């Protein structure tokens, strides 16, 4: 049996498209569960209108909402997606396919978007760059819950997601790292596609990168080995963050030691040169979009550097570790 769990918070605008897409699958699931996470809009009414199973809880975040769904699910395989996603008709069939191998405990799918806004298209290119990395690996250690599937026994054995994460902020990353550490086999299927609306403005995108940078540091406190390497984060991205710190730090010190200004300039040039592979990728799709790709990389590095710095300060000074409900 297949159960699909969708945590939903104030999702009345996006949930109808998600549920309609799930009810149009070529391989229909046995049950669809919407967990209303204390919404203040018509989310619950939308779920009832589509005839799916509805669970309700006070607002606690998506990790707790998924855990509630997992406790109530009847399926042997649990599929997860988000209320703002629209799965392709073949999504269930594709994300189930790797489970033909009994060694597979979890499967990650992929994002696409119909958006034409410049920032959203660049964000999609960023995802595609990471998917290329994942496709080269027989086993991964990172499954995003926008397009995910796990065996129910695995979810329950590992105690589910950590409800200490208050929002959709790396709680799936932490759970994936935990699974990988326990020796479970996780795989990637790029053909298990859901459509999504990425941030479409610079402000929204950069805020998102700052938030993710912040919370990733909290996750690294729990899984320090993953700070060096995981299957999803390109090493070049980490180098770009370091280069941004050099740019900012040496620029500040240049007011005291002017010669350090040349070091800041060299770091900035290095950061711009590091954007060449991404710019080439973007150019394959749209030459006009490639013009702003280096700026995208520089601003991404800046936002991520700010988020990472905030996470490090919070981690060591104010938050020794998240409260944990983990096995």
- Taking CB atoms within 8 Å and a gap of at least 24, the contacts of 281-285 are 281/125, 281/128, 281/129, 282/122, 282/125, 285/121, 285/125
Taking the whole predicted model, whether its pTM rises above 0.85 is answered as yes
Whether residue 37 sits in one domain with residue 151: yes
What is the mean pLDDT of the segment spanning 256-271?
96
3-state secondary structure of 166: coil
Mean of pLDDT over the chain: 93
| Residue that finishes a domain, picked among 200, 220, 254 | 200
Contact call for residues 88 and 193 (beta carbons, < 8 A):
yes
Whether residue 257 sits in one domain with residue 193: no
Q: Can you give the pLDDT at residue 193?
A: 98
Q: Can you give the pLDDT at residue 327?
A: 44
- CA–CA separation, 178 and 167 (whole Å): 19
Total of domains in the chain: 2
DSSP classification of residue 315: I
Whether residue 263 sits in one domain with residue 179: no
pLDDT over 50 at 223, yes or no? yes
3-state secondary structure of 170: coil
Whether residue 175 sits in one domain with residue 70: yes
- CA–CA separation, 104 and 232 (whole Å): 18
Whether residue 297 sits in one domain with residue 220: yes
Candidates 90, 69, 121, 52; CA nearest to 285 is: 121
| Residue that finishes a domain, picked among 200, 221, 249 | 200
Whether residue 208 sits in one domain with residue 196: no
Whether residue 266 sits in one domain with residue 195: no
Q: What are phi and psi of 323, to 5 degrees?
A: -60, 140
Whether residue 222 sits in one domain with residue 195: no
pLDDT over 90 at 172, yes or no? yes
User: Which tens digits make up the pLDDT trace of 10-22?
Assistant: 999 999 999 999 9
Q: How confident is the model at residue 221 (pLDDT cuts 50, 70, 90)?
A: confident
């Amino acid at each position: 049996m297949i159960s699909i769990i969708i945590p939903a918070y104030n999702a009345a605008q996006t949930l109808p498209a998600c549920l309609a897409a799930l009810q149009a699958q070529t391989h229909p699931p046995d049950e669809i569960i919407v967990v209303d996470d204390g919404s203040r809009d018509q989310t619950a009414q939308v779920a009832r209108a589509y005839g799916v199973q509805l669970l309700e809880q006070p607002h606690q975040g998506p990790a707790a909402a998924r855990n509630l769904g997992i406790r109530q699910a009847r399926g042997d395989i649990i599929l997860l997606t988000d209320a703002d996603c629209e799965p392709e008709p073949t999504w269930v069939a594709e994300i189930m396919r790797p489970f033909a191998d009994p060694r597979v405990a979890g499967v990650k799918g992929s994002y696409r978007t119909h958006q034409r806004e410049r920032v959203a298209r660049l964000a999609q290119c960023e995802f595609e760059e990471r998917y290329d990395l994942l496709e080269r690996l027989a086993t991964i250690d990172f499954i995003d819950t926008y397009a995910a599937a796990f065996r129910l026994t695995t979810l329950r054995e590992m105690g589910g997601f950590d409800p200490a994460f208050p929002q959709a902020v790396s709680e799936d990353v932490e759970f994936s790292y935990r699974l990988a550490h326990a020796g479970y086999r996780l795989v990637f299927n790029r053909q298990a596609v859901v459509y999504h609306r990425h941030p479409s403005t610079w402000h929204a995108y950069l805020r998102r990168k700052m938030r993710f940078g912040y919370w990733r540091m909290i996750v690294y406190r729990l899984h320090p080995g993953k700070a060096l390497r995981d299957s999803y984060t390109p090493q070049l991205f980490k180098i770009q963050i370091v280069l941004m710190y050099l740019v900012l730090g040496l620029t500040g010190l240049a007011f005291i030691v002017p010669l350090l200004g040349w070091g800041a300039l060299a770091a900035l040039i290095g950061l711009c040169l590091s954007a060449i592979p991404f710019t080439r990728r973007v150019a394959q799709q749209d030459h006009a979009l490639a013009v702003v790709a280096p700026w995208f990389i520089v601003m991404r590095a800046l936002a991520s550097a700010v988020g990472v710095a905030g996470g490090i300060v919070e981690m060591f000074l104010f938050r020794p570790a998240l409260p944990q409900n983990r096995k």
